[in-house]
Amino acid sequence: MLPTDSTTIITRDNIQLLHIENAFAYAEISLFGGHILSFKPKHDHRERLWVSQHAFFDAKKPIRGGIPVCWPWFGPHKSKTNLAAHGYVRTQTWQIISCEETRTGTTVTLKPHTSKGDGFEGDVQLVLVVHVEQQLTIQLCTTNLGDTPLTYNSALHSYFAISDIKQCELLGLSKKYSDKTRGYQILDTPQAYKFNEETDRVHQEQPKTLTIADGEIKTDIMSSGHDSIVVWNPWQEKSISMGDMSDDGYLTMLCVETAITQGQDVAPNTTHVLQQIIQ
C-alpha cells in the first residue's frame, strides 16, 4: 500500500510502524496488532497515549500500551482456558487497505491477517478505521458475512498517559461496577473516582463522555457501540511482576477501555461498529 503525503512506514525491531503527520495531528500505528501507539494533536502537542518503556516489539507478544485491539473475546476465553487473553488479532500483522487524505485529516483503514481463529465460530470481515484529525476516532467494524447470527466481545483497550495516577480523577461514571480485584463484587462507583490501589473494574454503563482530569489537563473519551467501560491500573505489585512494565510504570498510565463484555449480537449481512473518540 503506497503511503500518502502525510504517511511513512518505519521499522522498529520486528515491527512496521505507520507514522502519520498532517496539519492537525501526529499519530503512529503499529501494523502488528493494528495497534495505535501515539496520538498528539497539534493544537497542544500533548501525547494522549502511554506506551511502556519495556513494551515488547518482537511481533510475538502483545504491545503493552497504546490501544490494543481485543477481539473476538475480552479477557480470558469463556471455555478454552488455553487460549490467549483478549483474542487473537492483537498478535497478528495487519494490512493497510487504504490511506486517504481528507479535508480534516488522514483516514487509515486496516484489516488483520485473518479474522478466523481457534475459539471463535463466525465468518467475519474485521476492519479498523482510524481518523487522525484534531481528535482521534477509532472504529472497529465487525461485519457478519455468514448466514447465521454471531456474538462477539471486544475492547479498544486504550492506555492513557497521565502525569500522576494518585492525582488524577475519572469523571463520568456513576453507577455500579464489578470489581475483579474483589471476586467480582458489585460495588458503587466512588464519587470522586480516584485511584489508590490496583483497579480492574467493569462498569456496565454507557455515558457519552468520560473525562480524565489530570490536574488542570483534561482528556475527553467518547464511546459508542459498547456495553461497558473497563477501568484498569495494575498498581505497584503487578507492575513489578510484569516483564513489560517498569516497576513504577503504573504511576503514569490509566486504561479506560471502550468494551463489549456482555456479548454483542451481529445479524447476517450487518456491521457492528465499536467506536472510541479521544480529544
Ligand X SMILES: O=P(O)(O)OC[C@H]1O[C@H](O)[C@H](O)[C@@H](O)[C@@H]1O
Binding site for ligand X (CB under 6 A): 62, 75, 85-86, 180, 200, 230, 232, 255, 257
Q: Nearest approach, Cβ of 155 to ligand X (angstroms)?
A: 7
Q: What ranges in the chain are assigned the alpha helix state H? A: 235-241
Q: Nearest approach, Cβ of 93 to ligand X (angstroms)?
A: 18
Q: Are 51 and 160 in contact (CB under 8 A)?
A: no
> With respect to ligand X, which residue has the nearer C-beta, 105 or 112?
112
Question: Is the bond preceding residue 41 a cis peptide, omega within 30 degrees?
Answer: no
Decide if 100 is catalytic.
no
Burial of 26 from C-beta contacts in 10 A (0-12 / 13-18 / 19+): middle
Can you tell me the distance from the alpha carbon of 142 to that of 90, in angstroms, rounded to the nearest whole number? Answer: 15
Decide if 169 is catalytic.
no
Q: Nearest approach, Cβ of 146 to ligand X (angstroms)?
A: 28
Residue closest to ligand X (Cβ): 232
Can you tell me the distance from the alpha carbon of 138 to that of 135, in angstroms, rounded to the nearest whole number? Answer: 10
> With respect to ligand X, which residue has the nearer C-beta, 161 or 255?
255
What type of residue is 34?
G
> With respect to ligand X, which residue has the nearer C-beta, 133 or 257?
257
Sign for the CA dihedral angle at 86, 35, 201, 245 comes to: positive
Side-chain-facing half-sphere of 167: CA atoms under 13 Å: 10
Q: Nearest approach, Cβ of 276 to ligand X (angstroms)?
A: 14
Q: Nearest approach, Cβ of 149 to ligand X (angstroms)?
A: 26
> With respect to ligand X, which residue has the nearer C-beta, 62 or 72?
62
CB atoms within 10 A of CB 79: 7
Active-site residue, selected from the candidate residues 157, 203, 226, 272:
157
> With respect to ligand X, which residue has the nearer C-beta, 195 or 232?
232
Can you tell me the distance from the alpha carbon of 60 to that of 62, in angstroms, rounded to the nearest whole number? Answer: 7
The residues that are catalytic are 157, 257
